[in-house]
Amino acid sequence: MSLSEFDRDTAVTLREPGVYDADLSGGWAIGSALNGGYLLATMARALGDTMPHPHPFTVSTHYLTATAAGPATVRAETVRAGRTLSTGAASLFQTGPDGREVERIRVLATYGDLATLSEDVRTAAKPPEMPPYEHCLGSEHAPSGSSPAMADRLDMRLDPATVGWAVGAPSGKGEMRAWFGLADGRDPDPLSLLMTVDALPPTAFELGIGGWVPTVELTAHVRALPAPGPLRVALSTRNLAGGFLEEDAEVWDSADRLVAQSRQLARAVRG
Amino acid sequence: MSLSEFDRDTAVTLREPGVYDADLSGGWAIGSALNGGYLLATMARALGDTMPHPHPFTVSTHYLTATAAGPATVRAETVRAGRTLSTGAASLFQTGPDGREVERIRVLATYGDLATLSEDVRTAAKPPEMPPYEHCLGSEHAPSGSSPAMADRLDMRLDPATVGWAVGAPSGKGEMRAWFGLADGRDPDPLSLLMTVDALPPTAFELGIGGWVPTVELTAHVRALPAPGPLRVALSTRNLAGGFLEEDAEVWDSADRLVAQSRQLARAVRG
């Protein structure tokens, strides 16, 4: 049985204690930049191997400089090992043009065991209202040649109410919604959720901001082991100001459980 | 001119490059624990001294073990110095009972200069609807002896719609709202905003969860220099599940600007 694309491309190899090698894949690029969620998931895989607890509970990611496809080193350490929660830190490095290691991304994360959480669920939030999968729009509807490489890794269909940007008519509302899965059918898990929160087109597109909207920082909470099957992802932005915006993501699984939430601070380079 | 309480109690002294001494004040305690936002503000002051940019833009904080009043060491370093943004890391240590240094809190933060942000504000969010200050409830209304030490540092008045918990009738809605200032009249600034996002009674109280609701992780975005005068703070929780909850905070200034947003993951120890 071969690995899914996501597992193959986020794989890390232990070189020595706390040091992992990764071969980052251009298959997860948006334009010339590798997707931030894909990079986070790769680092989180290394952390999960290092830490005494298996699952990311809350992960804070600061993106320093753009990461290229190709070799990378992830250094991961446990900062505190608790009984039910542990905290660790990880850094992703690549060799710069002068041969020196440059830190691209730093992560601070607290891990636990999602399988041990109580069954008491009092979530007040409701799943996003969206048309069924069959009435949402996949990348085959996008203008020819406009889809990023990463789109081929995904089975993603956008809510038609959030695709005005693709035809030059952005809604002006900071929203984006999609049905979400992996193209090769791999079911979601805590690591893939870290990629999922950063995988949709940005709300900035519906706010009329084209071009590059780089993530400065992203914090994701993984709140439950996701059920198999398709996810629904809803993004929202309420505070576009001063050249920056926050983008909140909610990920709902097929059992209507709110399995992940995130917020990122992004820079609107061109408004 | 004497320092305000907040500046006096978050002061740090440079001992050697990257190493700061702090004397943490029990005046910012909630019960036996020092308030997480107060501790974050102290660490952020050290980072602001170390980093090439003055203001926290996005700060991610992982709380490892409880911090006591008294001496503490903050180690702060710049991880990347950019043109408009820099990223740094900080750790707060205290000496444990065996004489060894124990790390209590680790922070990862990206700083910039809020004074250089563009004036383009397209915030879609609206300030919270609350009664005027005069119709909100200060701590003098709280049951005798029940207010934490920190309450004396603050000029905080709670929205009557969010104080049911104080009379044994929690609303069941994960909300908390208050007018907010410092008791000695000090105007808000980026550092005090980091304390402000964690200064209200927790939404957990209105959800009927009493007792200790420790913060596992808190990420705060400071989005603008706040105008002088009173702030309005609104908290909301939508995903109480599995023994954990997220708590979002918005801080609005007197000019109706959304100056800070945060989200924390907290543990509901007793449900």
Confidence of residue A31 (pLDDT cuts 50, 70, 90): confident
Specify whether B173 is located in the same domain as B225.
yes
Whole-model pTM?
0.97
Specify whether A156 is located in the same domain as A251.
yes
Domain end position, chosen among B58, B80, B114: B114
- B78 touching A, CB under 8 A? no
- B51 touching A, CB under 8 A? no
Specify whether B86 is located in the same domain as B161.
no
Specify whether A97 is located in the same domain as A168.
no
DSSP B45-86: HHHHHHSSS-EEEEEEEEE-SPPPSEEEEEEEEEEEE-SS-E
- Copy the structure tokens of residue B110: 């990206």
Specify whether A22 is located in the same domain as A139.
no
Q: In total, how many domains does chain B have?
A: 2
Which chain B residues are within 8 Å of A238, Cβ to Cβ? 123-125, 258
Specify whether A231 is located in the same domain as A263.
yes
Q: Is residue B189 part of a domain?
A: yes
Which chain A residues are within 8 Å of B89, Cβ to Cβ? 106, 108
Question: What is the predicted pLDDT for the residue at A271?
Answer: 44
Chain A interface disruption, residue of B55, B58, B118, B197, most A CBs within 10 A: B58
Number of A–B residue contacts, CB under 8 Å? 168
Question: What is the predicted pLDDT for the residue at B114?
Answer: 98
Question: What is the predicted pLDDT for the residue at B271?
Answer: 45
- Copy the structure tokens of residue A77: 């350490």
Whether A90 shows a pLDDT value over 80: the answer reads: yes
User: Which residue stretches of chain B have pLDDT < 70?
Assistant: 1, 143-145, 270-271
- A77 touching B, CB under 8 A? no
Which residue of chain A comes nearest to B104, CA vs CA? A80
Question: What is the predicted pLDDT for the residue at A143?
Answer: 67
Specify whether B91 is located in the same domain as B206.
no
What is the spatial distance between Cα A154 and Cα A184, in angstroms, rounded to a whole number? 8
φ/ψ of A230, rounded to 5, equals -70, 150
Specify whether A62 is located in the same domain as A101.
yes
| Amino acid letter, B201 | P
Segments forming the whole domain that contains residue B166: 133-267
Confidence of residue A210 (pLDDT cuts 50, 70, 90): confident
Specify whether B263 is located in the same domain as B137.
yes
Q: Is residue B42 part of a domain?
A: yes
The mean of the pLDDT values for chain A is 95
CB A201 within 8 A of CB A157: no
For the segment A144-201, what is each residue's pLDDT rounded down to a tens digit?
Answer: 667 889 999 999 999 999 999 999 999 999 999 999 999 999 999 999 999 999 999 9
For the segment A39-77, what is each residue's pLDDT rounded down to a tens digit?
Answer: 999 999 999 999 999 999 999 999 999 999 999 999 999
Question: What is the predicted pLDDT for the residue at A145?
Answer: 67
Specify whether A239 is located in the same domain as A191.
yes
- B126 touching A, CB under 8 A? no
Distance from CA of B121 to the nearest CA of A (A): 4
DSSP A116-148: GS-S-B-----PPP---GGGSB-GGGSPTT-S-
ipTM: 0.96
Whether A38 shows a pLDDT value over 50: the answer reads: yes
Which chain A residues are within 8 Å of B257, Cβ to Cβ? 241
Rg of chain A on CA atoms, in Å? 18
Task: Check which CATH number belongs to the domain holding B249 and give it.
Answer: 2.40.160.210
For tokens 């576009």, the residue is: A240
Question: What is the predicted pLDDT for the residue at A144?
Answer: 65
Distances in Å between the alpha carbon of A150 and those of A38, A206, B62?
10, 20, 31
Q: Is residue A73 part of a domain?
A: yes
Chain A interface disruption, residue of B55, B101, B221, B259, most A CBs within 10 A: B221
Question: Would you call B124 and A239 a contact, using CB atoms and an 8 Å cutoff?
Answer: yes
Q: Is residue A209 part of a domain?
A: yes
Domain end position, chosen among B57, B81, B114: B114
CB A152 within 8 A of CB A193: no
What is the spatial distance between Cα B55 and Cα B45, in angstroms, rounded to a whole number? 9
Sheet with A244-252, strands from edge to edge, namely A12-16, A19-24, A70-81, A86-95, A101-112, A55-63, A215-222, A258-267, A244-252, A231-236, A175-182, A154-158
What is the spatial distance between Cα B130 and Cα B233, in angstroms, rounded to a whole number? 10
CB A85 within 8 A of CB A79: no
Question: Would you call B124 and A224 a contact, using CB atoms and an 8 Å cutoff?
Answer: no
Q: Is residue B123 part of a domain?
A: no
Spatial CA neighbour of B72 closest among B24, B34, B8: B24
Specify whether A106 is located in the same domain as A143.
no
Residues 194-253 of B with CB under 8 A from A: 207, 216-217, 219, 221, 223-224, 237-244, 246
Specify whether A138 is located in the same domain as A263.
yes
Whether A139 shows a pLDDT value over 90: the answer reads: no
For the segment A232-256, what is each residue's pLDDT rounded down to a tens digit?
Answer: 999 999 999 999 999 999 999 999 9
Domain end position, chosen among B55, B79, B114: B114
State the DSSP code for A204: H
Residue B99: which residues within 8 A CB-CB, separation 6 or more? Answer: none
- B55 touching A, CB under 8 A? no
Q: Is residue A71 part of a domain?
A: yes
